[in-house]
Structure 1
Amino acid sequence: MSDAGEFIDLALQREGSWRRADELQSRLEQEPGGRGLRYYGASVGAVRGTVRDAGRRYPGLSRDEIAALSSELWGAQLSTAPVFERRLAAVVLLQANVKLLTNTDLTRLEGFIREARLRDLVDPLAVDVVGPLVDGLDVLARVRADSVLDRWVREPDAWLRRAALLSPLLALRSGAGDWDRFIRHATAVLGEPSGKFDADADADDGAVREAVFRVRAEMAKRRPELQFTAVG
């Protein structure tokens, strides 16, 4: 483990409590991605503070170092299961350094999203990392990144579809963003027959549709001039 990774891991363990770990596990195991995780019981504020402290202790990390550290935090430790708070720390680290990321980092983010299957991880990755990453690209890189998101919307993996749908939310909130593109993606998702029969698959399908309704509901309040007209 790297020095920065060890610093974050030990700090998260110190911030944890058994009671909060049990509460987290009870809540997050309602989703498919929450069942194979360990929990330290550190609060979201503690995770953010720990990543902030790590940034002060190890300043000037390069893009490659940020990418490597996020993967280290995301993965399992030796023979043990991955830890929710470590994965959340990876998300916070990427949020704090999103300006360093490029469209090639979408491959790593896709892997994280596929493995997460959990709103508490997928949503901040989509809204606060994928969206700002894509919005900050130059024209050519943006075209390539948009093609990746177009593929995510067509993927069998429901959580990739959810991430693609939520990714423009920050831009749309700010008065920018491509509303017509969101409508095309949402129409494609809402028009799909479910064809699913087990409880986890039904939950995944619900997570996708929930993402559409979340964006629509926020825009109805913030930007009522935007009308959701399904593409035929």
Structure 2
Amino acid sequence: MTAACDFVDAALQREGSWLRAEEAQARLGERHQYYGASVGAVRGTVRDMLRRHRDLVHDDITALSSELWSVPVFERRLAAVVLLQSRVALLNNSDLTRIEGFIREARLGELVDPLAADVVRPLTAGLEGQASARADVVLERWARDPDPWLRRAAVLSRAPATQPPARRSTTP
């Protein structure tokens, strides 16, 4: 593990509680493991890590998000989402492939919805020219995919930003 990933993982484990972990598992299912860290703790941990590692560039951010995502622990995956949200300005249309993989694996509204609304939507809104056209092709493909989570992400990523966020749920 990289130092940044080690920092995030250790902090999330310290912030966790077995009671919150059991509650999350009962609410969200057994697809993931749970440390029991709060959403606020996840956001704070990512913020602290970014302060410690100020020199992270595009490739570092995407590699770290994949490293966090690689272990099926909900809080680590949420940290990957928060990391991408916080550095969405560094992302480009080629990152949609990585995000697609995250969406296919997540199968959980609490992860898919913020990826679509808070990462893909602003990412694609900031693209121009050929990059924008390529992203549109990807989102069109998502919209026709048999995977209901990918179709959901396509809809949410194209919804107007002023629209209230969709109710988070564990079913598509």
Find the aligned partners of 2:27 and 2:21 in 1 and give their Cα distance. Answer: 10
User: In structure 2, which of residues 134, 139, 144 is the aligned counterpart of residue 149 of structure 1?
Assistant: 139
Aligned to 1:73: 68
User: In structure 1, which of residues 104, 119, 123 is the aligned counterpart of residue 113 of structure 2?
Assistant: 123
Where 1:37 maps in the other structure, the secondary structure is coil
The one-letter amino acid of 2:54's match is P
**Structure with the greater alpha carbon radius of gyration:** 1
Where 2:35 maps in the other structure, the secondary structure is coil
Structure 2, gaps ≥5 residues long: 164-169
Query: TM-score when scaled to structure 1?
Result: 0.70
Query: TM-score when scaled to structure 2?
Result: 0.93
The yes-or-no answer on 1:64 pairing with 2:53 is no
Q: How many residues align?
A: 166
The yes-or-no answer on 1:108 pairing with 2:98 is yes
User: In structure 2, which of residues 126, 131, 135 is the aligned counterpart of residue 136 of structure 1?
Assistant: 126
The one-letter amino acid of 2:85's match is Q
* C-alpha spacing 1:90/1:172, structure 2 compared with 1 (3 Å): closer
Aligned to 2:166: none
The yes-or-no answer on 1:158 pairing with 2:153 is no
Runs of 4+ in 1 over 3 A off after TM superposition: none
Deviation at 1:37, TM superposition (A): 1.2
Aligned to 1:40: 35
Aligned to 1:51: 46
Identity %: 65
Find the aligned partners of 2:142 and 2:101 in 1 and give their Cα distance. Answer: 12
Tell me how large the CA RMSD over aligned residues is.
1.2
Aligned to 1:20: 20
Find the aligned partners of 2:46 and 2:161 in 1 and give their Cα distance. Answer: 28
Find the aligned partners of 1:36 and 1:20 in 2 and give their Cα distance. Answer: 16
Find the aligned partners of 2:8 and 2:161 in 1 and give their Cα distance. Answer: 33
The one-letter amino acid of 1:2's match is T
Deviation at 1:140, TM superposition (A): 1.4
Deviation at 1:138, TM superposition (A): 1.3
TM-superposition CA deviations, 1:56-109 (whole Å, max 9, x none): 011020100000000000012xxxxx1000000000000000000000000000
